[in-house]
Amino acid sequence: MRKLFYLFAVFSLLTSCVSKKNQVIKQNILTLKDSYCKAPFQYNYTNKLPSYNSDSILTANKELKGMFSDQSILILNALDNLDEVHDIIELKKDTSLSSQVKVLQLKTKINSKITIALTELDAVAAEFDCEGERVAQIGNYVDNLNDSRNNKLILYSIAAGAAASIAGGIVKDNSWSNAIDISGGVLGAGFGLATLNPKGKKVEFIHQRNLLRDIWREKLESPNFPPFIWYMYTEKKFSNKEEHSIIQNMKERWLHYQFDDSRQEADASVIFSDGGFYRSDDLHNRAAMLNQMQSATRTINQNINYLLLDLDKLIL
């Protein structure tokens, strides 16, 4: 009888520890449920996007092709700086001091637009990074909840088996002893089977400012992105093969790897909504997608770097 008492005392202590751990986890989830990544001040960008008629733009500025790459010409057009570049080329024909001063003034004007574009890129990439970290944290908490639940069920299973074994040793009647052993085995097996829940627990996660929704729908339906960034995402000339845009390539990867090529499942996913109840797999998928978009955003810096190099060559 004393053994049975000690067994239940240890069992109560362990379950108490698990319960306290779950309370801490739930409190942490409340702090992560609503986004802390969005900027405190919402800038209302103009809805005007640069022209997507890239072939016409390049044809109209074919005299620049010896000095700039196609991507650099398109960026200059998107930043509304093509006139300044043409003026610089004309002023370079005059070696007077006044012409040189005007060239530097025009270069400063172009650099100002490029600086704004670079800060926009940094801001968008930083928000993707912050959102990815936020999702990863709550994903880890849900994993811990699932682990705690499984650990508790395993503990129940062990305790049930041990209690049945001790009780079977105490009871002298064979028929009752066998019945206790069988009941303990069935109960322990039931707890063990209950751990085989592949989806696990759910947690509420809100993201009314959903950066991934605009990407998935390929529509700038919100002020989430500056027009220049969206243009870089959606102009095919800035992708590797120039057959699909950056976000079209991204969507193909998401559809294949995150949604098993099921467009219907992807469209109905909580990932592209205002938020809702997430399971662990959905949270880890969302974190991966945010990190991928962060990387894609930062690669745009390469195009701007090439533009700056072309501009320096023009000025020298």
What is the distance between the alpha carbons of residues 98 and 189, in angstroms, rounded to a whole number? 90
Cβ-based neighbours of 241, under 8 Å, separated by 6 or more: none
Residue 160 located in a structural domain? yes
Residue 192, pLDDT score: 42
Residue (of 136, 145, 137) closest to 25 by Cα position: 145
Residue 98 located in a structural domain? no
Cβ-based neighbours of 306, under 8 Å, separated by 6 or more: 69, 71, 72
Print the domain residue range for 141: 2-48+116-315
Residue 14, pLDDT score: 47
Residue 76 located in a structural domain? no
Number of structural domains the chain divides into: 1
Residue (of 118, 122, 115, 114) closest to 39 by Cα position: 122
Residue 158, pLDDT score: 47
What is the distance between the alpha carbons of residues 13 and 2, in angstroms, rounded to a whole number? 17
Residue 7, pLDDT score: 46
Residue 62 located in a structural domain? no
Residue 92 located in a structural domain? no
Question: What would you measure as the largest C-alpha separation in the chain, in angstroms?
Answer: 115
Bridge partners of 204, per DSSP, are 277
In the block, tokens 């362990």 appear at 14
What burial class does residue 102 get, using C-beta atoms within 10 Å of its C-beta: 0-12 exposed, 13-18 middle, 19+ buried? middle
Residue 107 located in a structural domain? no
Residue 90 located in a structural domain? no
Q: What are phi and psi of 91, to 5 degrees?
A: -65, -30
- For 239-253, the pLDDT digits (tens) are 988 889 999 999 999
Residue 292, pLDDT score: 96
What is the distance between the alpha carbons of residues 112 and 154, in angstroms, rounded to a whole number? 63
Tens-digit pLDDT profile for the chain (316 aa)? Answer: 454 444 445 445 445 554 555 555 455 555 555 567 777 667 677 778 899 999 999 999 999 998 999 999 999 999 999 999 999 999 999 989 999 999 999 999 999 999 999 999 999 999 999 999 989 888 888 877 765 544 444 444 545 444 545 445 554 545 544 444 444 444 444 434 333 344 557 888 888 889 999 999 998 877 889 999 999 999 999 998 888 999 999 999 999 999 999 999 999 999 999 998 998 889 999 999 999 999 999 999 999 999 999 999 998 7
Residue 65 located in a structural domain? no
What burial class does residue 275 get, using C-beta atoms within 10 Å of its C-beta: 0-12 exposed, 13-18 middle, 19+ buried? middle
